[in-house]
A and B are shown apart, each in its own frame.
Chain A
Amino acid sequence: MELSGGQIIVESLKSEGVEFVFGYPGGSVLHIYDALSQQDDVKHVLVRHEQGATHAADGYARCTGKPGVVLVTSGPGATNAVTGIATAYTDSIPMVVLTGQVPLKFVGSDAFQECDSVGITRPIVKHNLMVKRVEDLGAALKKAFHIATTGRPGPVVVDIPKNITDPSIKVAFDYPTSVDIRSYRPAIKGHSGQIRKAAELLLAAKRPILYVGGGVVQGNASEELRALAARLGMPVTCTLMGLGAYPGKGEHSIGMLGMHGTYEANMAMHEADVILSAGARFDDRVTGELDKFAPYAKIAHIDVDPSSISKTVKADIPIVGQMQPVLEEMLRILDEIGHKAPDTEQLKPWWEQVARWQALDCLSYTVKDKILPQQVIETLYKVTNGDAIITSDVGQHQMFAAQYYQFNRPRQWLNSGGLGTMGFGLPAAIGAQLAFPDSQVACVTGEASIMMCIQELSTALQYKTPVKVINLNNRYMGMVRQWQEMFYDKRYSMSYVEALPDLVTMAESFGHIGIRVTKPEDLEAAMQKAFVEHKDRLVFMDIEIDQEVNVYPMIANGKGHHEMLLSPKQAEATNAEPRDLA
């Protein structure tokens, strides 16, 4: 088969089973757009800004597990995509980004819309390359999909000079069926001896905990993790990225850990004698002050990326491998040992201690005459039966969503955990809604974050994605304000958003439905209306919330897990002094 470069790209995407390409046309990619227009298998989603394309592809990838695909033009098309590429990279999301480039003979000449896309994206991709011969295009794309989706997933940028896609140049094409890269052989199975050591350590533990990260979600190992938790009967805590890998309302769940984790999860991490980390990377937002982190614990760490192990916290038992086979092997070893059910007797004192921490009810709050953000998330949970796909932006609303929406399954919670990208939520929700047209998809956001990618409301209309935007409007950049209140003596420098638009009429002007809610008693009915009556429409719920609510618990900079700040209500009820366990 003789094909042009543009046709090769389209055929390659088809061979990879790509449903959607998120993109924006421009000079360098016109040949590719022309080839796309002559077929129906790969659908193109036209965004309003390239950042939106990357976040939408990212949202699609996070909720399906399939790679997100992006197509942008050279120069500003590529630079606009950078934030979204970095977002995907930090959270290990599989993505293939095709960037147009000026014709090869102009590369390096400061041509119109030229930039060094490979150079600019180098530190924020798993891999990138420029295609220099049309004959190499198919193999380059195969390699890109392979690298993006295997090992620790991540974005791959393929830079394609315009002459490569020239429709007048046709070459023989067969999409490669396999790829073998001698310098890239990611680990699959973990070392069985190490897995056995970890299992034995866990069985001997008096105060064990399972610390579950996004690697369990990305590694499609939630089922195995649940089986392991049931078998061992130990407390399970999930990171922000791991939420849903173990159900929030699961028998052994003690909630999220870290900076805004639950009292019980952080105290249990602090006092644990054995920690099994599954696909988590001991991020600073999880560990707090490293010198104070888990002082009594031996640590077993499973990760597909060896560089994540012992990076910040030394692992006693490192296990490098894909999550699913490693956890399967651990279950097999437990079978072999004859450990069929939790040793409830051995773990009883530990669970009793956990129950004392849980009794503090660290997420409880006092209802007021104004709407509280916690209430909004709880109402959202109720109205959607806890079953919606939730995306978020970044800030207080993100933490409230993480704390109060009890995620039941992996790939239900999509947020920019690592890079912390404001503007992620709306385009990600559009990507998720396209992947699951019959599911409820809500974007929990704030009035500051939503403005960062607000233009994608227009995309949502074009593709009829009935996302529900849950805007927690407190007229502040809430998290910035919280830090300024706590650490800058309430000098609210630039965190109050003046001159906000009327978000309801704004949504209407984009062709959507806007609903404003100001009273707690109206909240549930309004949300019902949005999700039921306007099921098939995008509804922008602008919810006026109490302006100065803080996210608690909180581990401030330099503090350990046992040194949380609690809400004024709980601070009185507790004695957070660490016990001597050594």
Chain B
Amino acid sequence: MRHIISVLVENEFGALSRIAGLFSARGYNIESLNVAPTQDDSMSRMTIVTSGTDDVIEQITKQLNKLIDVIKLTDLTESAHIEREMMLIKVAATGAERRDEVKRLVDIFRGKVMDVTDSAFTIEVTGAASKLDAFSATLGEEGVIEVVRSGPLGIGRGDKALQL
């Protein structure tokens, strides 16, 4: 099953490679990983999307917790949470009909056209990973020139937070 694990780590040299190394050394899946500073600049927050049986996920969280640089973590998928991912996608669009169709799709998916040339659109779409998948599927494989995705970010619902 797919899990989103949010990890607060010390903002120290090597913390990222420690975590990436743990996943490769122990053979855990890693679908995406992103990392950026938090409101407290001594800490970074990582969002790791992984998958595995309950036993594997339990080991992943225990092994992460064992790393000295890891301050705290939570498996967001255990409770209500919000998941968002950003995609920048460049689509070939020539001919009035195709260009109109792309613009309609952008509206339906509540995306934004960020850049236009006479042969292409660059579009920003944000949402759950499944929505981004659906958007690129709808555009059709042929038209897509380039795709960049941030990997999911997640945060728990309600007033509880992953903090010190």
- The chain A residues found within 8 Å of chain B, CB to CB, are 118-119, 122-123, 126-130, 147, 181-184, 305-307, 310-311, 314
Contact = CB atoms under 8 A, between A and B. Distances in A.
A123 B21 contact: yes
A119 B164 contact: no
B70 A122 contact: no
A181 B65 contact: no
7 contacts: A118-B14, A122-B21, A123-B25, A181-B68, A182-B71, A183-B70, A311-B59
A122 B18 contact: yes
Nearest to B62: A307
Interface in B1-40: 9-10, 12-14, 17-18, 21, 25
A181 B69 CA distance: 9
Contacts of B160: none
Contacts of A122: 14, 17-18, 21
Nearest to A126: B68
A184 B69 CA distance: 8
A183 B68 contact: yes
**Shortest 5 CB-CB distances between A and B: which pairs?**
A307-B62, A183-B71, A127-B68, A123-B25, A184-B68
Nearest to B68: A127
A118 B17 CA distance: 11
Contacts of A311: 59
Nearest to A151: B66
B10 A183 contact: yes
Contact of A130 (B13, B21, B65, B71): B13
Nearest to A184: B68
Contacts of B10: 183
A18 to B, nearest CB: 22
A311 B149 CA distance: 34
B11 to A, nearest CB: 11
A127 B21 CA distance: 13
B21 A310 contact: no
A298 to B, nearest CB: 18
A123 B26 CA distance: 10
Contacts of B13: 130
Interface residues of B, number: 22
A310 B57 CA distance: 12
B146 interface: no
A182 B164 contact: yes
B101 interface: no
Contact of A310 (B12, B18, B58, B63): B58
A128 B21 CA distance: 14
Interface in B145-164: 164
Contacts of B21: 122-123
A183 B69 contact: yes
Contact of A147 (B9, B58, B59, B68): B68
A314 B58 CA distance: 11
Contacts of B25: 123
A305 B68 CA distance: 13
B141 interface: no
B62 A306 contact: yes
B118 interface: no
Contact of A307 (B9, B66, B68): B66
A129 B72 CA distance: 20
Contacts of B142: none
B55 interface: yes
Highest count of chain A CB atoms <10 Å: which of B55, B59, B66, B69: B66
Contacts of A183: 9-10, 68-72
A307 B164 contact: no
A52 to B, nearest CB: 27
A118 B13 CA distance: 10
B83 to A, nearest CB: 26
Interface string B46-86: 00000000010011001101101111100000000000000
Nearest to B63: A307
Contact of A119 (B17, B63, B65, B72): B17
Contacts of A184: 68
B117 to A, nearest CB: 40
B162 to A, nearest CB: 13
B18 to A, nearest CB: 6
A130 B21 CA distance: 18
Contacts of A182: 71, 164
A130 B14 CA distance: 10
Nearest to A123: B25
B14 A306 contact: no
B70 A305 contact: no
A119 B13 CA distance: 11
Contacts of B62: 306-307
Nearest to A124: B25
B36 to A, nearest CB: 18
A6 B77 CA distance: 50
A130 B13 CA distance: 9
Contacts of B63: 307
Given A184-B68, A307-B65, 20 more contacts: A118-B14, A119-B17, A122-B14, A122-B18, A123-B21, A127-B68, A129-B12, A130-B13, A181-B68, A182-B164, A183-B10, A183-B72, A305-B66, A306-B65, A306-B66, A307-B59, A307-B63, A307-B66, A310-B55, A311-B59
